[in-house]
């Protein structure tokens, strides 16, 4: 298993990165986290060799006081050479809930990320489809992806990407401009998007799962995962991350946390080598769940 991937064919990126969503607060409705702890987590991540940070301007505490992009800038700017910061645009959150930004508003959202991160160009920008977890099947992304493609041509964006999409969305976008990455909900116990992953693998597109460890739910409560974890003297979360890095050469993992200790635990998952027997046993975790819910 190689630990590096070439994003867009030209940007070296470590396959085990860091997701910033949990830095501002614990969960969607949790209390704000201490900003200094968030800055410490980011500095430690870079010290451990992480060079891929996934964020968004809308990753903030509910009161708006703690914002992931601001923490990243405060902790890491000026950014070291080779650090890749990915962000996403599309959803707009307000007092009445969330909605999708129209194409005409995407420039302002991109410029907002540039400002809060202290950058002149964004390495990777995802167009996030939908405002919630479910993929909005049948919805066209053409006009909005074209708007981002124009910003790429202007030099504000290096590479374009998609989040929360199906195979039709990916095909539609690729007819407009190159797609460097896809970020969908996928993990050891939720493999609905295996076909999208396969397309990405055949095309050299990075596949970056969100919810890599089950999004805090009980998805990892499986005796088979626990058995493999015990063999490797690891946690089930570490095995879930190691599985993502092993299942395909194009997968990038972006586990998030607001704790330095948990960060260090996640990074150690990159050194776990799963055997063919491990993978065969873990393959049964998904099939058993499918049979349970059939």
Residue 55's domain spans which residues? 4-216+241-272
Q: Tell me whether residue 64 is in a domain.
A: yes
* Six token digits for residue 248: 């395909």
∠ CA 173-174-176, rounded to 5°: 70
Work out whether strand 91-94 and strand 97-100 pair parallel, antiparallel, or are unpaired: antiparallel
Work out whether strand 11-14 and strand 4-7 pair parallel, antiparallel, or are unpaired: antiparallel
pLDDT of residue 1: 63
Q: Tell me whether residue 230 is in a domain.
A: no
State how far the Cα of 31 lies from the Cα of 246, in Å rounded to an integer: 35
What stretch of H or E contains 14? strand 11-14
Q: Tell me whether residue 281 is in a domain.
A: no
Q: Tell me whether residue 29 is in a domain.
A: yes
Q: Tell me whether residue 267 is in a domain.
A: yes
Task: Quote the strand ranges of 66-171, DSSP E.
Answer: 84-89, 91-94, 97-100, 122-128, 157-163
What stretch of H or E contains 18? strand 18-19
Q: What is the greatest pairwise CA distance in the chain?
A: 53
Predicted structure pTM score: 0.93
Q: Tell me whether residue 287 is in a domain.
A: no
Question: In total, how many domains does the chain have?
Answer: 1
Q: Tell me the pLDDT of the chain averaged across its residues.
A: 92
pLDDT of residue 40: 98
Q: Is 239:255 a contact under the CB 8 Å cutoff?
A: no
State how far the Cα of 209 lies from the Cα of 57, in Å rounded to an integer: 19
Q: Tell me whether residue 291 is in a domain.
A: no
Task: List, by residue number, the catalytic residues.
Answer: 59
Structure confidence by residue, pLDDT tens digits, 199-225 = 999 999 999 999 888 755 446 888 999
pLDDT of residue 182: 98
Q: Tell me whether residue 282 is in a domain.
A: no
CATH assignment of the domain containing 29: 3.20.20.100
pLDDT along the chain (294 residues), means of 10: 90 97 86 96 98 97 94 98 97 82 97 98 96 80 98 98 97 98 94 95 97 69 92 96 96 96 97 96 67 42
State how far the Cα of 16 lies from the Cα of 269, in Å rounded to an integer: 9
Residues 6+ apart with CB under 8 A from 18: 42, 45, 50, 52, 53, 54, 254, 255, 256, 263
């Amino acid at each position: 298993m190689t630990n590096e991937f070439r994003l867009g064919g030209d940007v070296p990126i470590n396959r085990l990165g860091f997701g910033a969503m949990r830095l501002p607060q614990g969960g969607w409705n949790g209390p704000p986290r201490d900003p200094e702890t968030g800055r410490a987590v980011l500095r430690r991540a870079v010290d451990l060799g992480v060079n891929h940070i996934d964020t968004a301007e809308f990753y903030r505490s509910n009161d708006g006081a703690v914002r992931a992009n601001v923490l990243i800038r405060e902790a890491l700017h000026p950014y070291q050479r080779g650090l890749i910061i990915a962000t996403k645009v599309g959803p707009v959150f307000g007092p009445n809930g969330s909605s999708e930004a129209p194409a005409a508003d995407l420039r302002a959202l991109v410029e907002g990320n540039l400002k809060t991160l202290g950058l002149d160009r964004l390495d990777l920008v995802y167009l996030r489809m939908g405002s919630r977890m479910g993929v909005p099947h049948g919805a066209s992304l053409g006009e909005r992806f074209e708007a981002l493609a124009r910003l790429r041509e202007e030099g504000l964006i290096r590479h374009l990407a998609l989040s929360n999409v199906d195979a039709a969305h990916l095909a539609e976008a690729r007819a407009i401009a190159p797609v460097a990455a896809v970020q969908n909900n996928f993990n050891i116990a939720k493999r609905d998007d295996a076909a999208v992953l396969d397309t990405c693998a055949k095309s050299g597109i990075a596949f970056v799962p969100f919810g890599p460890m089950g999004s805090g739910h009980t998805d990892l409560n499986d005796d088979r995962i626990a058995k493999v974890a015990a063999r490797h003297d690891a946690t089930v979360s570490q095995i879930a991350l190691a599985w993502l890095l092993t299942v395909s050469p194009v997968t990038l993992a972006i586990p998030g946390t607001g704790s330095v200790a948990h960060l260090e635990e996640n990074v150690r998952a990159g050194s776990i080598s799963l055997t063919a027997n491990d993978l065969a046993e873990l393959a049964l975790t998904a099939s058993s769940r499918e049979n349970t819910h059939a």
